Amino acid sequence: MKALVLENIHPTAVEVLESRGYDVDLRSGALSESELVDSLDGVSLLGIRSNTTVTSRVLEAAPDLLAIGCFCIGTNQVDLAAASARGIGVFNAPYSNTRSVVELVIGEIIALARRLPEKTLRMHDGVWDKSAQGSHEVRGRTIGIVGYGNIGTQLSTLAEAMGMRVVFFDTSDRPAHGNARRMRSLDELLEISDVVTLHVDGRPGNAGFFGAREFALMKPRSMFINASRGMVVDNESLRDHLVSGHIAGAALDVFPVEPKVQGDTFESVLRGLDNVILTPHIGGSTQEAQAEIGWFVAGKLTGFALEGSTALSVNLPAVVTPPLNQGHRLGFLHHNVPGVLAGFNALFAADGDNVVGQQLSTRDALGYVVTDASAPLSGHAMEQLLASEHCLWARTW
């Protein structure tokens, strides 16, 4: 069994995969579409981060691929519809690096409020600039959180603990934490926030979400942070508002175009501004977070490949399977139409097999059933199952 693991994923992932019997090909950088196509022969598990894009063409060229692990939060770098159509499970780490991202944002808020980027640069140039001008405490300031999911809510809690007033806006109906207040619109949030921080996902509809209009609506001399997705922000407009002084400072950890390999040149219109913190997509790049992500995602990949569990898959119906201590297990992914399950169970009955456990889940157009039985289906019954017009795949364990 082969696994291809890219982009400097933590060694914990390799340890988990190897302990479950996988031969791991570990590579430091991302791969292009053509490079992926050439590299997936015989690979059943693929591990990536945010800089590798898995297209429909890649999936078509990988008949042995069972699952993709995104060792990060986002999965927009994977063609999920194409993966689902081929029955390829996609897994991510929605919680493992939350704390690391939040701590980075908190540190950036304090650094910008105290003008630390400018101060440290002057010190390195030999200039002693001991002045309080333009430096502020964050206590009593209002932070506006755009996107109130796993990261936004934890940021809300820590910011309030530091004495900040918290307001948030989210298109979903999410409960407020602590004393945080929901804003009825993004415009309302922008007008009152001293700090605006983005924590939205990478769905296509969010491209160009924050631009010239939104920056103009922000409170004069406020600060801006983007630790979500690079493509949601118009950085040209941000630069204009930074240069004009309308925005006092900004911190960005994500960019529309990011280097594929460690050490490659980074280009941005925001380079060279002393009131901007630029970091190389390291929000979740702490040793603690990466070790946790490596263990978590590798465990989900092997749980799916070796036991049939789709727990926390982002694209397949969720079935949490117990350990298979005895007997035989059959997983059946199929089109979600009436009558499929009845026909499936009829095969066991015709074979005289005793079903000892069964779990079923559906998700949009897909259905997934895992059945533990006293004996495996006969070869003829398996042929009938695989020949069904509604079958995507059937696997035994």
Name the residue among 227, 221, 250, 228 with its Cα closest to residue 237.
Answer: 250
- Give the burial class of 34: count Cβ atoms within 10 A of its Cβ; 0-12 exposed, 13-18 middle, 19 or more buried: exposed
**C-alpha Rg value of the chain to the nearest Å:** 25
Q: Which of 20, 229, 329, 334 is catalytic?
A: 229
Token representation of residue 298: 């590798």
Active-site residue flag, 20: no
Among the listed residues 10, 86, 141, 281, the single catalytic one is 281
CB 33 within 8 A of CB 61: no
DSSP state of 57: H
Q: 171 Cβ partners below 8 Å, 6+ apart?
A: none
The tokens describing 224, both together, are: 């801006």
* 7 catalytic per annotation: no
**Separation between Cα atoms, residue 333 and residue 369, nearest integer Å:** 7
Residue type, 16: V
Q: Which of 258, 328, 363, 395 is catalytic?
A: 258
For 44-71, give one letter per residue: b (16+ CB within 10 A) or e.
bbbbbbbbbbbeeebbebbeebbbbbbb
Active site residue 229: yes
What are the residues whose beta carbons fall under 8 Å from the beta carbon of 346, sequence distance 6 or more?
A: none
List, by residue number, the catalytic residues. Answer: 229, 258, 281
